[in-house]
Amino acid sequence: MLAIRSIDDFTLADFDRTFAVNVRAVFVATQAAVKHMKEGGRIINIGSTNAERMPFAGGGVYAMSKSALQGLVQGSSRDLGPRGITINNVQPGPIATDIIPSEGKFAEMLKKHIAVVRYDTVEEVAGLVAYLAGPESGYITGANLMTDSAG
């Protein structure tokens, strides 16, 4: 479960779990994947717009973990580029889930920070991922691409 709470109430166990899921798992998966990739390979991570802006209190550690993915992608692009492998990070805005419903008080607060005043959709995120996976994006690497409207 996602831990959202003030920095002074955030336990080290919650911190470790957040980084294990949001950073370490991506690192381990990336490291395993590149062992089998050839030129033209694509790595596409899914991050969060919260890496660049956090619209509510209690999300500092989550935001920091998503920001770590930005650094991993930018740095890894230098390692993988000479091998013809690209690595990018798609950063969606909020998407309706059981944890983050698109209706209600919390949703209305989030929508105030989104220019199109609605949540992202799975199809919109998938469209960007499909583009990054395709041959026409072979020059794009080390990018952190937001799918939401400026907030």
- 3-class DSSP assignment, residue 78: helix
Extents of the domains making up the chain? 7-146
| Residues with catalytic roles | 62
How far is CA 17 from each of CA 1, 3, 65, 112, 131, rounded to the nearest angstrom?
Answer: 9, 9, 11, 30, 32
Q: Could you say which residues of the chain have pLDDT below 50?
A: none
pLDDT attached to residue 149: 64
CA 15, 2, 142, 117 dihedral sign is negative
Task: State pLDDT tens for residues 75-90.
Answer: 999 999 999 999 999 9
pLDDT attached to residue 127: 95
87 touches 45 (CB < 8 A): yes
CATH superfamily entry for domain 7-146: NAD(P)-binding Rossmann-like Domain (3.40.50.720)
